[in-house]
């Protein structure tokens, strides 16, 4: 845990320059716009320890995999969205001394990420080794309005001298990934060109041959007056720049505005790339920094209008939830079904910017509730597009008859991870994808999706489960052997409760969906049956036989669901018994020790209880929560949010609040000592849910929203907004009341504390909390 | 399976040149002398698919490890005995065409490995693309007498032309390992030098900085007359050569004899290296090929005198057992306690030439019975030298108080493997090392070893087991969770029967050894107690508590020991149900499918029954054998020998014979389609035991040898020799009799069919088999 970010309702603020936090701040102050993203590396030279990172959605490289001993069925490569040419660069030389905060003394420093505006800015006064001080103020943003544009405003003033300032505005293609498996570089630089009208750089990924074009324009002002001098264009084999040199006096201000367009073959034909790229940077320059910023802010303003959560009485909680909402919206805008949400978004190299089950289990519910329906639909279509690859993936492992195993980690539908205990065994993701379909349909009532895409996906998944189960000769029940559950601190276990439960549900749900589609869309059903050679009677009978005789591990001694066979043979200790200096255990203990311990990385049984909550009584939920929460170390970002929701569910608001802080400030307070690697983007959706489903008690029941709002002791009031089938409401809870405002022209019925409420278009209702608590 | 080697009692013979077998033959015809070894790559140019390999005992490189996601406690590097400079090279150019069997047509070809002499030879007639034919005859050996010398005789005659023949005798240091993890090269070439007196090359391994020096001399004859012309010395940055050119007529024979000395800093000071190396090659040239060969053959003749097994009536079996004995003796001579036996010896890159548990479990019994006592003692001393590293290895995993975990794979005592499921979990090797101490003492009665080295090792191992067990809250018994047994087709299982059994035995045996040493050598015991801070009472009480309450999994339904928890939940199928075209399954099935299947890679429960045979009744052995043998695919080389011994034990001679052929001809007939990677050296010791302990029924009981000889139906007679505590006897079994000859001057008592026999020095006894069968 590391706390150095100032608390503020709308801003992430750092008031000191601490080189040891450089990489952490590069993560925390990251910016993005769905199409590209960037760590908050300094624009000017920084020679200290850094992880420069600039990423473009969809642009990946299949890095050669790295495994101990390769075995059949192992993935051949690890795809990753790679660090891309660096377009933010400024080199500033003051009388022959390069401005570099690693070597200069920093007298004053402030960095602010203004989440309301989507603007990153930084100011400081720095003094060179020879004693010359400059004042610098930099702002940058990636336009949410015109997402192929990035813009930087860089201002510099001599403080205590008159002298020469040389400036180079550059873009450089010779970049590397820290996580390159074989220290290879991933880009070929095809073309560099610099002249008085633009500087242009064309890069191509090796192997995948994506092309990305960059064009740069700029505008220079001295004391707000446009500078008309000539800069020197220059290009090398891998980079382009414009340089100039000026004499500045004390208190002169040199302002440089750099406009960069970034276009890729993911969205443009190769033939158009150069022309479009150059034109866009020129257009940006013409529009100017302030105008572009205004467009950009307008988009953010709309986003906040629809998805802000307000919390009164708890600044830390307020800042944190906005940080989560902000980062989610920076990462994914939902407009392109070819894109998805990497666990670290565009904020670091770890997890390669690839798609994990996080999307279905965490992000989808968030976007379902906060964005228009097409956004979550696009997330599901993304998987549907990968269905054939998922079938091939299962075939590689020995499955037949159209069984699909979606990858644990993917960019193009192929499995990318490089540990067998994950790729082969963490098969619960297949269930999460099925559950997401259920979730989407339940929330939106969009049964067309089921008919057109959902059922085909579900059948392929059901086929997988039906082949993946084993009829145990010892027990004469169906089991699932050799899996890794969400709790990755166990590998290759038998009968992981969560996986078994989910698989059993999947088979059953799919049979129900078949009945529905057969009745509602018989022609389309018959077309599907034929296309996928579906033997309905034989296959569904077999599935139901499995459902009826599925082994679901249970410990009758403790009255709890059993995480997996043999879990109770482990030494049983509470996580509180782990000394503080051994936390997080994954940074202090050997993997051997972790595997054999009873400690849980993340929600596993509780994840299942969260999904199938309606099946369980309060007592069952409470018993399992108490047992498993006490053993959970929450070293996955995906863990505390689910636990927080369940803690709210059983009325343990104090615990729910503690877990809420942990999930929402996971990165801001660096709970797991790893924020330097990037932010936990996908779990941020879980944070949102720990307010809305947790404290707010939002559920869907009988095609209706239901609420059971509670409020943490520290809070005076909190308010969230949700979309539901055309309606759009705001829910404000304070200690005594819950107020519902319908912000749409669609009337809506919902339940609060088990009573139905009707809300007219633009109507308001206030419900007393006190009577029910 | 691939059969192309001719059957012969003393020779390995290949009669055709088949490029597709080139790599397999490179393995099968490998030669070595304990200090170095070499694959049977051609001396002259070969541009086809090959795995050139030349290895020097003890000379290794710590190759950077390759894992998916590194976790705490993972080994940092994978050490490997690396491919060394190529010293065998000849380049032959016939009228501007390079002799290269990959491009020339081969009209006649024969390769012979004469095991009696230890000589590899090859002859062929080959015709160049332009139609010129040459006859070639090459012989080479690595001297067993002077193990730093390698010698090649290369003869070439024009068959159908008169013309120019250019010859280059060279050594080249720019070599690589196919298994280099990051395509790095492992050698720096420090010096090359060629003049009329010698050609000299000095190479140094990167990182480990071992130096190896090579010097070459040669002698050329034309039609048996010494050639006095001048060759051209030449050196490059990485190689040295001598070249000359001659006009040869039809039926002229050019004979070249190449003498190379190979000396390393493992055995010489760096200062002496150059002088000694050059002197040795010159000495070799002076002694000449025939003389060196005679010395070499004399050593082989002694080895065969003591360790040959004769089989009458079954040429395949005869050839196979000699091949096994030959290769074992080529790999390890037992004279240096810093050396050990890699699973592939010097015949390939796989397993890196490193030390595995194979040594203790398989090789030690072989050397105990066929070599002088110091050889097996050296193998045990090797581990003792690594004890401190083993304690450090355990510390890295979180163990304390001097607990030792010997590495699964090592060269210098540090763990080298790169899969957690092996390094952390295949902890049974710790038991094999303890058992080897027991085995050695039982066989030799050398209790001094126990006092001086054994007990310290045993206590460190016992400390490990006592910390590695878990007291299961569910069962209130001690368990071992999260292991991989010898059957590596299961990973991370709980309560592997073999591991539990071995651990339990270890704890108990160590307590017994403590009692012995305390009584017999009280001073040394007290010194040890102090040095290792041994709290005898507390520690041994704890160990005995564990022993008394150890969970040993058993399936009462089947009346068998249970390989591990949950094994009976798997689909139970016999290995015979696997289609032939899916064998070996590790080349056809995904790792996922293998892990979840019931199929067993190698002896696991049966390995334990083999070790602790005396504890079990015939019925128990038979039931377990039948159950597990039917599920075993024998895709480890270590498997069939143990099964063969147990099949003999239960009187199933037909099965024992089938398994004997499989173990003994594993490489010759390439059962597992992998001989191109190298030979299975360590399992060859198991092959020897499947005759001596299997058919011969040799056991040690009450300080005596006991025999129960049986004979496979096909065999008329077989004879083996064994050493036992100063005595040295030959045991010949035919259908009706067993004949014992004492070849030593030490009288010996032993048991045959449960009756005691006394054998005078040099005496003979003939026992009737018929009455007992």
Question: What pLDDT digit, counting tens, does each position of A559-571 carry?
Answer: 999 999 999 999 9
Tell me whether A500 touches chain B (CB under 8 Å).
no
Question: Is residue A252 a contact partner of residue A157, using CB atoms and an 8 Å limit?
Answer: yes
Interchain CB distance below 8 Å, B590 and A566:
no
Question: Percent of chain A having pLDDT more than 90?
Answer: 97
Confidence grade of residue A603 (pLDDT, cut at 50, 70, 90): confident
Name the E strands within A173-253.
187-194, 199-205, 211-222, 225-226, 232-235, 239-248
Closest approach of B684 to chain A, Cα-based (Å): 24
Interchain CB distance below 8 Å, B72 and A492:
no
For residue A492, give the nearest of B74, B470, B491 by CB distance.
B491
Whole-number pLDDT of residue B773: 44
Interchain CB distance below 8 Å, A565 and B570:
no
- For the full predicted model, state whether its pTM sits above 0.90: yes
Interchain CB distance below 8 Å, A472 and B398:
no
Interchain CB distance below 8 Å, B71 and A586:
yes
Interchain CB distance below 8 Å, B418 and A69:
yes
Confidence grade of residue A665 (pLDDT, cut at 50, 70, 90): very high
Closest approach of A182 to chain B, Cα-based (Å): 7
Closest approach of A359 to chain B, Cα-based (Å): 22
Tokens coding A130: 């020879």
pLDDT single digits (tens) B628-653: 999 999 999 999 999 999 999 999 99
- Between chain A and chain B, the number of residue pairs with CB atoms below 8 A apart is 150
Phi-psi sector, B216: left (phi>0), alpha (psi -120 to 50), beta? beta
ipTM score:
0.92
How far is the CA of A346 from the CAs of A81, A207, B660, in angstroms? 9, 22, 60
pLDDT tops 70 at residue A397: yes
How far is the CA of B294 from the CAs of B33, B113, B150, in angstroms? 15, 16, 14
Whole-number pLDDT of residue B467: 98
Look at residue A711 and give its three-state secondary structure. coil
Residues of A in contact with B72 (CB under 8 A): 586-591
Query: Residue A700's CB: how many other CB atoms inside 10 A?
Result: 14
pLDDT tops 60 at residue A772: no
Whole-number pLDDT of residue A739: 98
For A70-111, the DSSP string reads --TT--SEEEEEPP--B---EEEEETTEE--TTTSEEEEEEE
For residue A68, give the nearest of B419, B424, B557 by CB distance.
B419
Closest approach of B394 to chain A, Cα-based (Å): 10
Question: Is residue B471 a contact partner of residue B478, using CB atoms and an 8 Å limit?
Answer: yes
Q: Please give the span between the terminal C-alpha atoms of chain B, in angstroms, as a whole number.
A: 35
Confidence grade of residue A1 (pLDDT, cut at 50, 70, 90): confident
Nearest residue of B to residue A419 by CA position? B68
Confidence grade of residue B67 (pLDDT, cut at 50, 70, 90): confident
Closest approach of B570 to chain A, Cα-based (Å): 6
Q: Supply the DSSP symbol for A362.
A: I
Catalytic residue chosen out of the listed positions A14, A425, A426, A488: A488
- In 3D space, the residue among B341, B330, B320 whose CA is nearest the CA of residue B118 turns out to be B330
Tell me whether A598 touches chain B (CB under 8 Å).
no
d(CA B204, CA B182): 19
Question: How high does pLDDT run on average in chain A?
Answer: 96
Calculate the CA A424 to chain-centre distance: 24
Whole-number pLDDT of residue A771: 53
Whole-number pLDDT of residue B643: 98
Interchain CB distance below 8 Å, A66 and B66:
yes
Catalytic residue chosen out of the listed positions B26, B44, B488, B635: B488
What is the number of helices (H) and of strands (E) in chain B?
22, 33
Question: Percent of chain A having pLDDT more than 70?
Answer: 99
Q: A residues 396-425 near B, CB within 8 Å?
A: 396-398, 417-420, 422, 424-425
d(CA B351, CA B81): 9
Interchain CB distance below 8 Å, A592 and B398:
yes
Tokens coding B537: 């009472």
- Mean pLDDT score, B523-539: 98
Whole-number pLDDT of residue B418: 86
Tell me whether A593 touches chain B (CB under 8 Å).
yes
Catalytic (active site) residue B204: no
Question: Is residue A542 a contact partner of residue A465, using CB atoms and an 8 Å limit?
Answer: no
Cis peptide before B662 (omega within 30 of 0): no
φ and ψ of B159, to 5 deg: -100, -40
* Angle separating helix axes A681-689 and A639-649, nearest 10 degrees: 10
Interchain CB distance below 8 Å, A473 and B183:
no
Question: Percent of chain B having pLDDT more than 90?
Answer: 96
pLDDT tops 60 at residue B772: no
Buried/exposed code over A56-91 (b: 16+ C-beta within 10 A; e: otherwise): bbbbbbbbebbbbeebbbbbebbbbbbbbbbbbbbb
């Amino acid at each position: 845990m590391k706390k150095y970010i100032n608390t503020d309702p709308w801003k992430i603020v750092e008031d000191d320059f601490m080189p040891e936090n450089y990489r952490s701040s590069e993560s925390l102050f990251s910016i993005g716009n769905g199409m590209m993203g960037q760590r908050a590396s300094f624009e000017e030279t920084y020679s200290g320890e850094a992880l420069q990172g600039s990423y473009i959605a969809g642009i990946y490289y299949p890095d050669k995999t790295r495994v101990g001993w390769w075995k059949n069925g192992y993935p051949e490569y690890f795809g990753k969205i790679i660090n891309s040419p660096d377009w933010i660069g400024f080199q500033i030389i003051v009388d022959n001394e390069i401005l570099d905060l690693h070597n200069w003394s920093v007298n004053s420093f402030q960095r602010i990420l203004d989440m309301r505006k989507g603007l990153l800015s930084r100011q400081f006064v720095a003094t060179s080794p020879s004693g010359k001080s400059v004042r610098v103020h930099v702002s940058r943003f990636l336009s949410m309005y015109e997402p192929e544009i990035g813009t930087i405003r860089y201002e510099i003033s001599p403080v205590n001298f008159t002298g020469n300032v040389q400036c180079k505005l550059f873009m450089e293609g010779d970049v590397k990934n820290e996580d390159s498996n074989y220290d290879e570089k991933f880009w070929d630089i095809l073309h560099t060109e610099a002249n008085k009208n633009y500087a242009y750089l064309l890069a191509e990924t090796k192997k995948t041959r994506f092309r990305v074009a960059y064009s740069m324009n700029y505008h220079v002002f001295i004391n707000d007056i446009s500078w008309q001098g000539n800069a020197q264009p220059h290009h090398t084999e891998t980079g382009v720049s414009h340089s100039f040199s000026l004499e500045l006096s004390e208190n002169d201000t040199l302002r440089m505005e750099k406009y960069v367009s970034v276009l890729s073959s993911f969205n443009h034909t190769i033939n158009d790339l150069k022309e479009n790229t150059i034109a866009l940077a020129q257009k940006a320059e013409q529009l100017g920094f302030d105008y572009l910023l205004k467009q950009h802010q307008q988009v953010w303003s709309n986003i906040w209008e629809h998805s802000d959560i307000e919390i009164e009485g708890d600044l830390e909680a307020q800042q944190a939830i906005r940080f989560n909402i902000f980062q989610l919206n920076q990462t994914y805008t939902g407009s392109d079904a070819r894109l998805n949400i990497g666990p670290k978004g565009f904020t670091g190299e770890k997890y390669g910017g690839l798609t994990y089950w996080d999307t279905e289990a965490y992000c989808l519910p968030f976007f379902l509730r906060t964005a228009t329906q097409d956004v979550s639909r696009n997330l599901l279509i993304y998987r549907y597009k990968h269905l054939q690859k998922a079938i091939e993936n299962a075939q590689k492992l020995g499955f037949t008859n159209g069984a699909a195993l979606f990858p644990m980690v993917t960019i193009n539908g192929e499995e990318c991870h490089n540990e067998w205990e994950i790729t082969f065994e963490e098969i619960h993701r297949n269930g999460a994808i099925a559950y997401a379909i259920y979730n989407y349909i339940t929330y939106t009532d969009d049964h067309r999706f089921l008919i057109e895409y959902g059922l085909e996906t579900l059948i392929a998944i059901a086929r997988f489960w039906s082949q993946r189960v084993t009829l145990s000769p010892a027990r004469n029940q169906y089991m699932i052997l050799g899996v890794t559950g969400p709790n990755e601190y166990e590998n290759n276990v038998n009968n992981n409760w969560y996986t078994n439960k989910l698989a059993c549900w999947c088979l059953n749900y799919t049979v129900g969906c078949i009945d529905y589609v057969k009745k509602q869309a018989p022609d389309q059903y018959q077309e599907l049956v034929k296309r996928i050679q579906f033997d309905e009677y034989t296959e569904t009978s077999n599935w139901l036989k499995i459902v009826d005789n599925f082994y679901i591990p249970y410990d009758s001694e403790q009255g709890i669901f059993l995480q997996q066979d043999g879990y109770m043979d482990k030494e049983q200790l509470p996580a509180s018994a782990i000394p503080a200096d051994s936390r997080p255990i994954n940074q202090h203990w050997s993997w051997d020790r972790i595997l054999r311990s009873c400690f849980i990385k993340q929600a596993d049984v509780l994840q299942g209880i969260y999904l199938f909550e309606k099946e369980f009584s309060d007592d069952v939920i409470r018993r399992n929560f108490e047992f498993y929460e006490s053993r959970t170390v929450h070293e996955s970002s995906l863990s505390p949010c689910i636990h927080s929701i369940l803690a709210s569910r059983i009325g343990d608001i104090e615990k729910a609040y503690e877990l809420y802080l942990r999930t929402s400030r996971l990165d801001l307070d660096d709970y797991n000592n790893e924020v330097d690697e990037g932010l936990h983007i996908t779990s941020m959706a879980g944070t949102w849910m720990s307010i809305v489903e947790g404290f707010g008690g939002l559920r869907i029941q009988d095609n209706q929203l239901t609420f059971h709002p509670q409020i943490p002791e520290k809070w005076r009031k909190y308010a969230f907004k949700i979309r539901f089938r055309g309606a759009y409401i705001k829910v404000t809870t304070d200690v005594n009341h819950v107020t519902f405002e319908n912000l749409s022209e669609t009337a809506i019925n919902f339940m609060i504390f088990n009573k139905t409420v009707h809300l007219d278009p633009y109507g308001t209702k206030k419900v007393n909390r006190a009577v029910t608590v």
